[in-house]
Amino acid sequence: MKALVLSGGKGTRLRPLTHTMPKQLVPVANQPILAYVFRHIQDAGIKDVGVVVSPETQKDVRRFLGKGSRWRARITYILQQEPLGLAHAVKTARPFLGKSSFVMYLGDNLLAQGIKEFMEAFHSEDLDALIFLKEVENPRAFGVAVLNKKGRVTKLVEKPKTPPSNLALVGVYFFSPAIHEAIDRIKPSARGELEITDAIQELMRLGKSVRGRILEDWWLDTGKKDDFLAANTIVLDNYTKRDIQGKVDRKSSVTGRVQIDKTAKIVNSRLRGPIVIGKKCEIVNSFIGPHTTIGHGTRIIDSAIEHSVILDNCYIENIARLEDSLIGREARVVDPKNHSRALRLLIGDNNVVEV
């Protein structure tokens, strides 16, 4: 069994942040999304991993993942020149995949549970495809599946105007080598892409065994700001433990599950978890509220922040209230006149905002 991790694409829904970094490396609770993906792959015991990268972002992805040793894996990088669909990514990776079965994992997806249990079911049931599904409120935005009573997939539709079910395809799929023949038989869709839904539909036409499993726990696609903030909230809720290692002065109060790196400094401030505060941060005369992640090297002075993700080396001062915000690396957000207003921001790296 091999793994194929898709870490290409242009991340247009998270711009301007993704003008300067891949969406798969945007941190959730101070860990890039790809770190969670690779943790699931490691837990499943998969050691041979292909990573599909794009020309624009491959350097950053390679720099973070390296050769894969921290996850006890061997990484092969596969360049996809253009984002021409998920099935096209599989086709591009065919020399790496060979005749092996594999799990395809979209690098901007977060799952509450790992994939080991599903991998075992894929093998024991001798399937050609096992797709992950989740009940959603807006199935028109996803590929949608219909299951029969035995869990077999009977129909797949990509972003239907009239959805036949509310079961969305999650960005994790198990395939046998039969998927390659199916991809060879399909044509680009109206949007010019080779759709994985069409390839799975072709598997069914070929009489192959295709099953779906409905996820009971949470799944998040982090492609948009609100989805990303929701992912940060859920990860903080589920995984944050109280771990205060940094310097907290006597005038400060820390309530709840708050993680503070040993090199961080908290001065005359109130912190209410769940919160994660990174390396060499400095929080002075401020309030940091629930569901907030503060990246490494960030300074926050005379400000109040909650339900936000602040990336590395930012500077925030005199902001009465910052909420529901995603702030890029080395950004500055300041209010010289100290207005009493609430801000909701999505800004990219190296930006300066004065209010």
d(CA 299, CA 307): 17
Residues 142 and 274 in one domain: no
Residues 177 and 92 in one domain: yes
Average pLDDT over residues 224-244: 86
Q: Are 341 and 321 in contact (CB under 8 A)?
A: yes
Q: At what angle do helices 58-65 and 33-43 cross, to 10 degrees?
A: 50
d(CA 49, CA 57): 18
The reply to whether 234 falls in a domain is no
What is the separation, in whole angstroms, between the first and last Cα of the chain?
A: 53
d(CA 105, CA 95): 18
Residues 95 and 176 in one domain: yes
pTM: 0.86
Residues 65 and 115 in one domain: yes
The reply to whether 230 falls in a domain is no
pLDDT at 278: 95
pLDDT in tens, 197-213: 899 999 999 999 999 98
Residues 217 and 251 in one domain: no
What is the CATH classification number for the domain harbouring 321? 2.160.10.10
What 3-state class would DSSP assign to 221? strand
The reply to whether 233 falls in a domain is no
d(CA 105, CA 280): 33
d(CA 328, CA 351): 8
Q: Please check the confidence at residue 17 and state whether its pLDDT lies above 70.
A: no
d(CA 111, CA 276): 20
Q: At what angle do helices 178-185 and 196-205 cross, to 10 degrees?
A: 110
Residues 212 and 349 in one domain: no
Residues 217 and 281 in one domain: no
Residues 197 and 138 in one domain: yes
Residues 65 and 157 in one domain: yes
Range of the domain at 182: 2-224
The reply to whether 231 falls in a domain is no
**Beta carbons within 8 Å of 212's beta carbon, 6+ residues apart:** 130, 131, 132, 133, 145, 147, 151, 152, 153, 167
Q: Last residue of some domain: 224, 258, 273?
A: 224
What is the CATH classification number for the domain harbouring 54? 3.90.550.10
d(CA 177, CA 327): 42
**Beta carbons within 8 Å of 121's beta carbon, 6+ residues apart:** 127, 130, 213
Residues 191 and 328 in one domain: no
Q: What is the pairing mode between strands 342-343 and 332-334?
A: unpaired
Q: Last residue of some domain: 158, 190, 224?
A: 224
What 3-state class would DSSP assign to 32? strand
pLDDT at 127: 94
State how many domains the chain has: 2
pLDDT in tens, 346-355: 888 888 888 8
| 285 torsion bin: left (phi>0), alpha (psi -120 to 50), beta (else) | left
Q: How confident is the model at residue 169 (pLDDT cuts 50, 70, 90)?
A: confident
Residues 285 and 149 in one domain: no
pLDDT in tens, 39-89: 999 999 999 999 999 888 889 899 999 999 999 999 999 999 888 899 999
DSSP one-letter code for 88: H
- Least confident segment among 57-61, 162-166, 224-228: 224-228
The reply to whether 33 falls in a domain is yes
